[in-house]
Chains A and B, each alone.
Chain A
Amino acid sequence: MSARVTMESQPASPLFEGYGAEARRYQEPFDANGAIRPHWRALVDELEQNDALQMRQRKQFVARQIRENGVTYNIYDDAKGAERPWEVDPLPALIASDEWSDIAAGVEQRAALLDRVLADLYGPQTLISKGLLPPDLVFGHNNFLWPCQGLVPPGDVYLHAYAADLARAPDGRWWLLADRAQAPSGAGYALENRQIVSRAFTDTFRELNVRPLDGFFRALQSSLQRLAPKGDEAALAVLLTPGRFNETYFEHVYLARALGVPLVEGQDLTVRGSCVFLKTLGGLQRVHAILRRIDGDFCDPLELRGDSALGVPGLLEVARAGHVLIANALGSGVVESPGLLGFLPGICGHLRGEALKLPTIATWWCGERPAREYALAHIERLVFKPAYPSQQFDPVFGNTLSRKAQAELRGRIDACPHAYVAQELVELSHAPVWQRGMPQGRVVPRAITMRVYAVATGNGYVVMPGGLTRVAAKANAAVVSMQRGGSSKDTWVLGAAADRGVIPQSLPATRTVRVRDIVRTDAFLPSRLVENLFWLGRYCERSDNITRLLRVLLARYVDGGGLGPALAGALEMCRALELAPARASPKAALLAAVTGTASGGLRDTLERLFRSATRVRGRLSQENWRGIIEIQREATALASSRPGIGDAMEFLNRLLMSVSALSGFALDDMTRDEGWRFLMIGRRLERLQFHADVVACVLRDLADDGTPNDEGATLEWLLELADSIITYRMRYLSAPQIIPALDLMLFDTANPHAVLFQVRELQRDIAAVGDGETSEAQALRDIDSGLQACDLLALEASPAGDVHRRRALMAIAEVLAQTGAAARGVSERLAARHFAHVDDISRATLSS
């Protein structure tokens, strides 16, 4: 079977030259005679007219979009780090309109059926008592959540979102491979693929009348609103994610945005009384609906898995009280077992009085003696899978097993037959994929499977007209999996003129927003998010400061061919701030400061900036996020090369541009809500602390041994560091002198880089976020008066000279040192006041 059979008749298109189609498989674009299928005609025509260059541009366009939109997918155990770019083939998968009607009807029926199966399993369990379903597949399944028995969810709906994994067999029909009922992933990626690929083929996309996807997300949204037990209130729905290490975290961010709901983690929610609340900056907000991306058994460490740090203790009791909608209902994962597949035809007949519309891949549950005997007699033709996810083994392909391995498998199955399922091997259909890495790009065949989504509405299930087509990594792969490095395709369901407008008209209209419903603040800002915005602000500013300092040093090092005495001080400061290693030559120290990975250094700070940005990604505009990705990319690129001083200088220049762009986004692009205010507070505190510390340090140096020559050069780099050199030159048209320089950097409240400017802005922002008088406000007022009391007059040259002047410099340095310390104190108190209730306080499950 593994020999490659080439078609007798080549497809009638130069596009498929050397394509190597296998006759035993269904070929998506052409039939057994090589004739292009009618619904592929337009795309094939378009591709034929393209030369290799155009195709390469398309491929690059897609890759660029993925990179810029930051579409990622986390591969577990990937040494290269958590995130890796999502893979999309530029060529879409095409499904003809009539073919789609069958698929959609089949998926809709399955969703409705599994919903009723769940209602029975968590209710009267008649399917088991009547012998339609083995008790093993329920009571032996680790996703059957025992405490959820008898719990009827709002509206008696268990399965709000469902997905079917389908594959096309050689007979041309789509067969069901697996049901996804826990928390089906991928719909967000499907939408993202659409947005990218439709733009790569604008004309063909329009010409083919491809059916839109967005109705699906509106249906999901209105379903949550409709079913949520909200009383008279507007329902607050949230998307509950396990966090950014989950393989599909990007999708959670994307979906939350598409649905317009806050993205929350378990620790953002809390159960009080018999309701669940979102912890926000403004206090607790009742949550009415939770769209969960956490497996059911992890959702409540009190009643379900005690080792779960992802869930919300007490959530089950809230569900039991009927005070929250959880989608899908807790425990829905039990119907994902492949063991069920063989029993569903009978169950469908029993519950719905009709036959299953989608054919199911032949499946034998080994708990049943005749099935087990058949499976064990045909090992080499079958694939063996766990009946329950707790089994944790990869599918075993009988045809790859040695005699010894076969006997071993037999032994395992005999010991616990009900935990095993055997399935027929399917020859997956092949679709053309644009081959990369070839000088002359070309299409090659790859196996595909398709995931199709359905959502519960008031009028039954609505199926997304499209889906996520997944592509095997290798030509002869038997399993298609994104975890195994596969790629994906946008799925185009071609519209017949008759069925435009997919979502039924009878969908409940979304609530009309009247004037009195207008919302001007975001009431649902999780405290954790605000804390991360605060840190994002701090890290942005810290990156900016460090970059400037290193650039000042590098620029002078390059210009002067070495470090003069003025710069020796600056390098010392770098070392004091632990930005550069202590024991290296100036050149080595400077390079290490740019490329090294020491904690608190430039790269470490950029990494922290990136991490905090990841955590608040939902709040950042696409452009802002791209800017951050760009910084990350630059830093990684620099680290992997061995840069010279010139490269490092270039890097710092580009970095400074990018980091400045981030401040621009913060000022122009973000809604000025409380989150924004904390971002700005973070920036200002960081700037205040840095400048106060640096100037204090320089003043002490000058007081110690400042000679007039060095003083000018020192002040010059200090002004550059404070981004105030241009203003200084315009005002004074001369080399920097101590009195005007200090005035500009410390006391000029029109200068956004001046120390006093930060203090004034902070007073305003902190008054805006706090209620009433706070110790932070008091601390800032004290700094303010301390700074105002500084006496520049004392620096005017008097014949008494040095001693007098020295004392004056030290006095100002002292005030600045206090300012830096106060900034740290304010930061800590803010954190305690606003974030601490979601801080990493240990949470433990104890059992006696």
Chain B
Amino acid sequence: MSTSIEYAVEHATLYTYEDAVSRSQQLLHLVPRENPRQQCMHQSLAIDPEPSRRSDHHDCFGNPVTLLEFDQPHRSLSITSTMRVAIEPRAEPDLGASPPWERVAALFDYRAMRPLDAATLDASRYRFESTYVRIKPALADYARDCFEPATSLMVGVFALMQKIHREFRFDPAATLIATPLIEVLEKKRGVCQDFAHLMIGCLRSLGLPARYVSGYLLTRAPPGKPRMVGADASHAWISAYCPVLGWIDFDPTNNVLPDTQHITVAWGRDFRDVSPQRGVILGGGGHELDVGVTVTRVAGGS
């Protein structure tokens, strides 16, 4: 298939510590997961200093994870992930083909002895509170006008995406990762993580499954198209589940249905499950963090 577009991605993280770190353990989500439309041809991690131990496996959501251990004193930690990824364009989904949202929510109501198929069981993992996503009546209320009775599920989700994009301002200074959703909802400001968490919270508060997707955006937009927001760092968007259409991605930050410009790395219940780099260090004092993401188109498409 020649329709696919190929990207080169470089994701560089540099921690500089005030004092020496005597021991460090890191958990990385930097290797992209396979999915039907996305193929990873090459992937490598450059790590400095050399870790004393490395192990690679898959987490409970099927994302590749890398565990690193450093047992020599160091004052900086540099991890650069480079990859080549090819993405095929998706077919335009017929959002109206999904059933009324209440019927989808009811699908997850427990009934004694009713068996769940694999897809429903999997989707039911993404319906509950998680570290950064609380379930609140206020969130359900916010989404209510997108989900009039009998609204087709995906039409409602699309409307919710538009509403968030319309009413919220992108503002990196407004929030931290731990800022509660209710505060984000009040301030109407935040970054892509907040918008994703907010949208997930709204859907789950209505009893609908939604998951958090982390990945990258093309750094420089194709000619004639606007540059997307969130292109210089890790990006985040959401995926909603429909028993007919399956999982469909929505990007509330850019108000689009991700296509060939979104490169998926991992998904989970929220940021906590898929943060690119998470670690426990001994010593170190204060630290500075420098993250850079570059995505360039290498071949394909038009």
Give residues in A with beta carbon < 8 Å to B. Answer: 125, 128-132, 134-136, 139-140, 142, 146-147, 149-150, 270-274, 301-303, 306, 313-314, 317, 320, 346, 367-369, 390, 415-416, 841-848
Q: Which of B265-289 contact A (CB under 8 A)?
A: 269, 273, 275-285, 287, 289
Interface flag for B69 (CB, 8 Å): yes
Contact B284 A272 (CB under 8 A): no
Question: How distant is the Cα of A303 from the Cα of B117 in the complex, in angstroms?
Answer: 29
Most chain A beta-carbon contacts within 10 A, residue among B71, B129, B285:
B129
Query: B22 contacts which chain A residues (CB < 8 A)?
Result: 841
Check B25–A843 contact: CB distance below 8 A: no
Give the distance in Å from the alpha carbon of A771 to the alpha carbon of B25 in the complex. 31
Q: How long is the Cα–Cα vector from A134 to B116 in the complex, in angstroms?
A: 10
Chain A residues within 8 Å of B273, by CB: 146
* A265 CB → nearest B CB, Å: 15
Cβ contact within 8 Å between A131 and B278: no
Taking a contact as CB atoms closer than 8 A, the residue among B55, B109, B281, B287 that contacts A317 in the complex is: B55
**B60 in contact with A139 (CB, 8 Å):** no
What does DSSP make chain B's interface, helix, strand, loop or mixed? mixed
Contact of A302 with B279 at beta-carbon distance under 8 Å, contacts A135-B121, A846-B15 already known: yes
Q: Are A131 and B121 in contact (CB under 8 A)?
A: no
A129, A314, A846: which contacts B287 (Cβ < 8 A)? A846
Determine whether the beta carbon of B279 is less than 8 Å from that of A130.
no
Q: Are A302 and B114 in contact (CB under 8 A)?
A: no
| Chain A CB within 8 A of B299 CB | no
The answer to whether A843 and B115 touch (CB under 8 A), given A146-B273, A848-B276, is no
Interface range on chain B (Cβ under 8 Å from partner): 35 or more
- Contact between A131 and B114, CB atoms less than 8 A apart: yes
Which chain B residues border A842 with CB–CB below 8 Å?
282-285
Complex-state Cα separation, A551 to B115, whole angstroms: 80
- A390 and B121: CB pair below 8 A? no
Given contacts A128-B116, A136-B128, contact A843 B110 (CB under 8 A): no
**8 Å CB contacts to A: which residues of B79-111?**
108-111
A828 to chain B, nearest CB (A): 19
Q: Which residues of chain B in 116-140 are interfacial with respect to chain A, using CB atoms and an 8 Å cutoff? A: 116-118, 121, 124-125, 127-129, 135, 137, 140
| Cβ–Cβ contact A302 & B280, under 8 A | yes
CB distance from B207 to the nearest CB of A (A): 10
State whether B137 touches A415 (Cβ < 8 A).
Answer: yes
- A303 close to B13 (CB less than 8 A): no
Task: Report whether B60 and A146 are in contact in the complex, using a CB–CB cutoff of 8 Å.
Answer: yes
Q: Which of A131, A140, A149, A272 is B60 in contact with, Cβ under 8 Å?
A: A149
Q: Which residues of B contact A848 (CB under 8 A)?
A: 13, 15, 275-278, 289, 291
Residue of B13, B110, B115, B127 with most partner-chain A CB within 10 A:
B110
13 contacts between A and B (CB under 8 A): A129-B115, A131-B115, A132-B113, A273-B69, A302-B278, A346-B112, A367-B110, A368-B110, A369-B109, A390-B129, A842-B282, A847-B275, A848-B277
A414 to B27, CA, bound (A): 39
> Which of B117, B118, B280 counts the most chain A CB atoms within 10 A?
B280
**Complex CA distance for A320 and B57, rounded to whole angstroms:** 11
Q: CA of A415 to CA of B137 in the docked complex: distance in angstroms?
A: 6
When distances are taken between beta carbons in the complex, the residues of chain A under 8 Å from B67 are 314, 317
Task: Tell me whether A139 and B112 are in contact (CB under 8 A).
Answer: no
The residues of B that contact A270 with a CB separation of less than 8 Å are: 23
CB–CB B281/A843 < 8 A: yes
Q: How far is the CB of B67 from chain A (nearest CB, A)?
A: 6
Query: Known: A146-B60, A844-B284, A845-B278. Contact between A314 and B25, CB under 8 A?
Result: yes
Give the distance in Å from the alpha carbon of A845 to the alpha carbon of B272 in the complex: 12
CB contacts (< 8 Å) of A368 on chain B: these are: 110-112
Q: Which 8 A-B pairs have the closest CB atoms?
A: A134-B110, A140-B128, A313-B280, A135-B124, A149-B60, A131-B114, A131-B113, A848-B277
Q: How far is the CB of A295 from chain B (nearest CB, A)?
A: 16
Q: Contact: B60 with A150, CB < 8 Å?
A: yes
| B114 cross-chain contacts in A, Cβ below 8 A | 131
CB distance from B168 to the nearest CB of A (A): 23
**Which residues of A sit under 8 angstroms from B57, Cβ to Cβ?**
320
- Neighbouring B residues of A313 by C-beta, 8 Å: 25, 280
CA distance A140 to B22 in the complex (A): 38
Q: Find out whether the CB atom of A139 lies under 8 angstroms from the CB atom of B124.
A: yes
- B150 CB-CB contact with A under 8 Å: no
Q: A306 vs B26: C-alpha distance in the bound complex, in angstroms?
A: 12
B279 engages A845 (CB within 8 Å):
yes
Q: With the chains together, A129 CA to B110 CA distance in Å?
A: 11
Add 12 more A-B contacts to A301-B280, A302-B279, A846-B281 (CB < 8 A). A129-B115, A129-B121, A140-B127, A272-B69, A317-B67, A320-B57, A841-B283, A847-B278, A848-B276, A848-B277, A848-B278, A848-B289
Smallest CB–CB gap between A150 and chain B, Å? 7
Name B280's contact: one of A136, A142, A149, A843 (CB within 8 Å): A843
In the complex, which residues of chain B have a beta carbon less than 8 angstroms from the beta carbon of A415?
137, 140
A802 to B282, CA, bound (A): 60
CB-defined contacts of B280 to chain A, threshold 8 Å: 301-302, 306, 313-314, 843-846
Contact between B116 and A314 (Cβ–Cβ < 8 Å)? Answer: no
In angstroms, Cα B57 to Cα A415, docked, is 38
From residue B294, how far is it (CB to closest CB) to chain A in Å? 16
B124, A131: Cβ atoms closer than 8 Å:
no
Contacts of B60 in A (CB 8 A): 146-147, 149-150
Task: Please measure, in the bound complex, the distance between the C-alpha atom of A128 and the C-alpha atom of B123, giving whole angstroms.
Answer: 13
Q: How far is the CA of A142 from the CA of B134 in the complex (A)?
A: 12
* Cβ contact within 8 Å between B276 and A139: no
Nearest A residue to B22, CB-CB: A841
Q: Which residues of A contact B116 (CB under 8 A)?
A: 128-129, 131, 135
- Asked whether A131 lies within 8 Å of B111 as measured between CB atoms, the reply is yes
Q: How far is the CA of A140 from the CA of B135 in the complex (A)?
A: 11
CB distance from A269 to the nearest CB of B (A): 13
In the assembled complex, the CB of A332 is this many whole angstroms from the nearest CB of chain B, namely 17
Q: Which residues of B contact A317 (CB under 8 A)?
A: 55, 67
Q: Are B278 and A846 in contact (CB under 8 A)?
A: yes
Output the nearest chain B residue to A305 by Cβ-Cβ distance. B131
Q: B53 on the interface (CB 8 Å rule)?
A: yes
In the bound complex, do residue A139 and residue B25 qualify as a contact, i.e. CB atoms below 8 Å apart?
no
CB distance from A522 to the nearest CB of B (A): 26
Residues of A within 8 Å of B221, CB to CB, are: none
In the assembled complex, which residues on chain B have CB atoms less than 8 Å from the CB atom of A416?
A: 135
Residues of A close to B53: CB separation below 8 A: 273-274
Assembled-state Cα–Cα distance A324/B239 (Å): 37
B125 surroundings in chain A (CB, below 8 A): 135, 139
Residue pair B275, A302 in contact (C-beta under 8 Å): no
Contact partners of B111 in chain A: CB under 8 A: 131, 368
Task: Decide if A139 touches B279 in the complex (CB within 8 Å).
Answer: no
A273 to B27, CA, bound (A): 15
- In the complex, A152→B117 CA distance in Å? 24
Complexed CA–CA distance, A276 and B216 (Å): 36
Q: B59 at interface (Cβ–Cβ under 8 A)?
A: yes
Task: Chain A residues near B282: list those with CB within 8 A.
Answer: 841-843
B71 cross-chain contacts in A, Cβ below 8 A? 272
CA distance A177 to B114 in the complex (A): 28
